[in-house]
Structure 1
């Protein structure tokens, strides 16, 4: 299928990238020569904070995992490198890999416990972690206790010892720039979309083939590594460490930075780190003069600042700046280039047995939500699963797709039992799905949302994505997403944010995402719910087109009029059990069905 070149109203990223990197390199080279030493030192601290904040953007702003404990990872790397350098004379360049490895192992072991928590328990867990590590630093005598360690060896680079703030500026900001590029590459890739899908919920991500536990652990470790890199640089720049910079207040301050800058934006991490660091420095000078005494008054100002930012710019200052910046006004062209198609599963012959539900039952305590359900679907067939609200349709649907485990009975797909398999493995066998309540990532484009559906059809690692070694795979994934978007008739909206579409269009985007999984059976959970008449007509046209292409579909619906002209057979549920099964005309005239829907007729 031909993939068109589409005009995107606000796409000027390629133009910005042409001059963005050279400008950044020019600033890194020139600024230390123009600024006073004090300001250069201040920029060095901003760079160190930016590294930690970029990890937090990845972990909290994009992955949805709030952490108060990042300062602890900064401290682990700083103390390890300081101790090895002062006690054993180990070169700083040897302590760097050791610090990264130890931090990664610590983060991995911590994630085994911490990531089991959810809701408000997760940030509380990281808070406890940060407090415990802080007191550990202060109570270990070989680390100098609360007095800390001094005499840490300085860095040497190409035979030159880094002593001046300007030389540290060039090193720190070169590392910051490389980290920005690596994280932006990561987010614009297959694993990056999987990370962004975490905020859409575990159920949605797993139904697209994303191993959510793997990616949560990965970003937890990656954020810790960025913090460790900052800690290693800090120790050798300061040549002195004590527990104070690694306490829980520092962890909270890092969160302040990304909230102010923009928790979901990589450049927001740099903006927030700069604003908070500069403001903190100025407030420490101004507030004692204003109040006539010394004290931690800046904490009060920061608290008020956070409230104001949340009220006026909830997403942070970076997206607010981007909305009025001139580069956002220019139009551009985004091309989805042709690429090698993704591998397809062998399709079953029409009429071949596909899904077999036998005596399926689901109990929630004393409530029986699904009671001994039986029905079958053959390849190339469209079956509707109807019933009034509360009949158990969505529960039955979740049993088939692996969201819930069946209490008893069997569900087989192409002869293989699947009722105890997780969603990812059921997807791999050829069952794609949509949701009763739309689950898209609103700020991502339609193309990116649909590309998440193709996640399991290619393998690309995080390291390859950060180094931009995934260009061919990424082109294939985007080409497949564009093909499915055109297939459902939304080519003109391909590059629009998914959240800007109408509800009917968003439901069609979900269908395109499910089609990108290369399903043999497509499960549609109440696709017409909440749609207006014209939106239902558009959706019916899409489904009719899929029927013509031979797609097998199970539609869970309570709108009988919507599915009556679409399906080959209907299964009707009431109170968790099968009420009737047959052709649409038979069901339409079935007295038991009329009784269930209308309360009986004369």
Structure 2
């Protein structure tokens, strides 16, 4: 939960100090220049926070996008006579197109291949800047005209200062708005929850490209400002060293915290200046050793402050206010009861065929995990998929929901063939699921986790999220998420971090998230695992109510008492193969099932 009053008071104080510094005659020109460079770096690092800290996509190449913005305005203003304000738009368009092309090619890579690819195109653009004759080669372009606004020249450091910091604060505002929207929840799921997000209809590839282009455009704005502040550009500030430095600023400030971008930029540039001035005098050397110092600092950061400086600073600030006796109300997201209801799917007629699994098979090399399994699920019934550990139940779930591709066989849902489709495409048809191993976003609130499940029930563009034009639709999403949490008994935990819940509560949270998708078929993978007896009874009541409403449910569960009391029909698997099928009463007496579970019974014993 956020203490909004404290945040607003701190922000107002910060903006006031920024505004007054250049007006004071006592503020040295060096400080203004240093603050300008901090602002320029902050623009780049805000984009890196979204790309790397939030989205989990490591990039060493942001300095190249700074160069694109700088060289675009430099060439167009000096050679083509364009207005600098038009060159800003031109630079943004060129950067967006190049970033989109690079992103489509490189963002498919995973692991260490993605950072390596960013190194490659950063070096490529850097050498391109230094070797093209019409860009001035290594000498660059000079004589760039200063900016002017309504007749007021921004040629001095004190005058352009306000424009730089306006852009910085605007970028922070836009990024925070984006992260607090429906697209923002999808972006926050990219790091550590992409597979889960795909199962709820999130186009993770598209969102990766979006944040890649967004971060590049912020870097381009920084380059445009840099060119008109310096009045000249050359390749040296757009090389790999600066790309690494920007990433280091994000790590030091707090890679997952937007305001940490400004803090990290200030700390690194301040240290860099002091190291260049003090260390040579102490060691009696002119060698440039700041990278060595930064390397040691990074090791210490990872050891003692892995989340960066911002979380510790903000916690200290909150404690400081409490010590001084300031009573500030703690507030959280308010659920609007008057928000419009989200559209709901039309339920199929009770008893009609919803899911048809026909001889599906899955092989991992020579291992047959699922061997020609077939079963049916009809509208308004609960079907249990049971069997000993390792029987292939969860693999079957993953085949039905598109997480894993079929080796052979066919799956039909609501009369349409869905085998061969992606998990995202299957989610769009009306299938929701939970997972055998809980897959949540632990740093997001319980409410936001469930709202992610309703991703497909509302459509909000990235620009609408940035400009806060989505408030009505966002209110509807949060209202639906709160309703589903109340339904599963988690209404008191709306604003708790999901990672703070007990395992049983996390499983209930997963069910609420699946229900928020308004599915026709609900796939529950061990929903009662970790629940206490009373919680299981409450869950059974919820599932029974859903059945009465016409929802179809397919569940995997090891608690036989829970399964036998709840299901209409059971399918038994053993070693990946179909073993038996029937009503709970028939399965309890089936000899093959008793053999699989109990090793058989002596002749004459009752089942």
Q: TM-score range by the shorter chain?
A: over 0.9
Q: How far apart are the structure 1 equivalents of 2:242 and 2:599?
A: 64
Displacement of 1:537 in angstroms is 5.4
- 1:137 matched residue in structure 2: 129
Residue of structure 1 equivalent to 2:605: none
Which residue does 2:400 correspond to in 1?
400
Contact 1:489 1:542 in 2 (8 A): no
Residue 330 of structure 2, aligned match among 329, 332, 338:
332
Question: SS of the counterpart of 1:555?
Answer: strand
CA shift for structure 1 position 143: 1.4
Counterpart CA distance in 1 for 2:173 and 2:539 is 40
Q: CA deviation at 1:301?
A: 1.2
Q: Distance in 2 between matches of 1:207 and 1:58?
A: 23
Residue among 315, 320, 336 paired with 2:312:
320
Query: Structure 2 vs 1, CA of residues 535 and 302 (structure 1 numbering), >3 Å: closer, same or farther?
Result: farther
Instruction: Output aligned runs, 1:63-102, within 5 Å.
Output: 63-102=55-94
Structure 1 residue 104 corresponds to structure 2 residue 96: yes
Q: What secondary structure, in the 3-state scheme, does the structure 2 residue paired with 1:372 have?
A: strand
User: How far apart, in 2, do the equivalents of 1:561 and 1:183 lie?
Assistant: 49
Structure 1 residue 432, shift from structure 2 partner: 0.3
Q: 2:564 aligns to what?
A: 564
Residue 564 of structure 2 corresponds to residue 580 of structure 1: no
Q: TM-score, normalised by structure 1?
A: 0.95
CA distance in 1, matches of 2:150, 2:597: 81
Pair 1:30-2:13 in alignment:
no
Once the two structures are superposed, residues 1-44 of structure 1 have per-residue CA deviations (whole angstroms, 9 ceiling, x without a partner) of xxxxxxxxx4322x245445543442332111232111011000
* Residue 413 (str. 1) matches residue 413 (str. 2): yes
Report if aligned partners of 2:186, 2:197 keep a CA contact under 8 Å in 1: yes
For residues 466 and 94 of structure 2, what CA distance do their matches in structure 1 show? 22
How many angstroms does 1:340 deviate by?
0.6
* Equivalences, count: 592
Q: Does 1:296 align with 2:288?
A: yes
Q: Any idea what the Cα deviations from partners look like across 1:108-155, whole Å, max 9, x if unmatched?
A: 000111111011111111111111111111111221222222111111
CA contact (8 A) 2:398 2:404 kept: yes
Measure the CA separation in 2 of the matches of 1:308 and 1:91: 47
Matched residue, 1:480 = 480
For residue 414 of structure 1, report the CA deviation from its aligned partner: 1.4
Offset of 1:349 from its aligned partner? Answer: 2.4
Cα pair 1:504 1:539 within 8 Å, conserved: no
Q: Distance in 1 between matches of 2:40 and 2:534?
A: 54
Summarize the alignment of residues 177-576 of structure 1 with structure 2, pairs less than 5 Å apart. 177-326=169-318, 330-334=328-332, 335-338=334-337, 339-529=339-529, 536=536, 539-540=539-540, 542-547=542-547, 549-576=549-576
How far apart are the structure 1 equivalents of 2:529 and 2:192? Answer: 20
Q: Is the 8 A contact 2:347 2:551 kept in 1?
A: no
User: Secondary structure of the residue that 2:269 maps to in structure 1?
Assistant: helix
User: Using the alignment, how far apart are the partners of 1:202 and 1:17 within structure 2?
Assistant: 31
Contact 1:436 1:529 in 2 (8 A): no
**CA displacement at 1:588 relative to structure 2:** 2.0
Q: Tell me the equivalent position of 1:7.
A: none
- Once residues 533 and 119 of structure 1 are traced to their aligned partners in structure 2, the CA distance between those partners, rounded to angstroms, is 42
Secondary structure class of the residue paired with 1:360:
strand
Q: CA 1:326/1:17 → structure 2, altered by over 3 Å: closer, same or farther?
A: closer
Q: Any conservation in 2 of the 1:209–1:428 contact (CA below 8 Å)?
A: yes
Gaps of 5+ in 1: 1-9
| CA 1:157–1:498: 2 relative to 1, 3 Å | same
Name the CA distance, whole Å, in 1 between partners of 2:262 and 2:123.
Answer: 26
Give me the whole-angstrom Cα distance separating, in 1, the residues matched to 2:563 and 2:256.
40
Q: Tell me the secondary structure at the aligned position of residue 2 of structure 2.
A: coil
Contact between 1:355 and 1:411, CA under 8 Å: does it hold in 2? Answer: yes
Distance (whole Å) between structure 2 residues aligned to residue 540 and residue 297 of structure 1: 65
Task: Indicate conservation of the 8 Å contact 1:434/1:511, yes or no.
Answer: yes
1:201 aligns to what SS in structure 2? helix
CA RMSD, 1 decimal:
1.8
Q: Which residue of 1 aligns with 2:2?
A: 11
1-side partners of 2:123 and 2:501: how far apart? 45
Cα distance in structure 1, aligned partners of 2:59 and 2:279: 30
Alignment partners' CA distance in 1, 2:548 and 2:352: 17
Which stretches in structure 2 are left out of the alignment for 5+ residues? 323-327, 603-607
Q: Secondary structure at the match of 2:383?
A: strand
Asked if the contact 2:122–2:240 (Cα under 8 Å) also holds between the matched residues in 1, the reply is: yes
Shift of 1:163: 1.9
Q: Distance in 2 between matches of 1:534 and 1:298?
A: 61
Checking the alignment, whether the CA contact within 8 Å between 1:386 and 1:559 is kept in structure 2 is no
- Kept after mapping to 1: 8 A contact 2:156/2:229: no
Please say if residues 400 and 419 of structure 1, whose CA atoms lie closer than 8 Å, have aligned partners that are also in contact.
yes
- TM (norm. structure 2) is 0.94
Tell me whether 224-233 or 143-152 shows the greater mean CA deviation.
143-152
Equivalent-residue separation in structure 2 for 1:597 and 1:111 (angstroms): 51
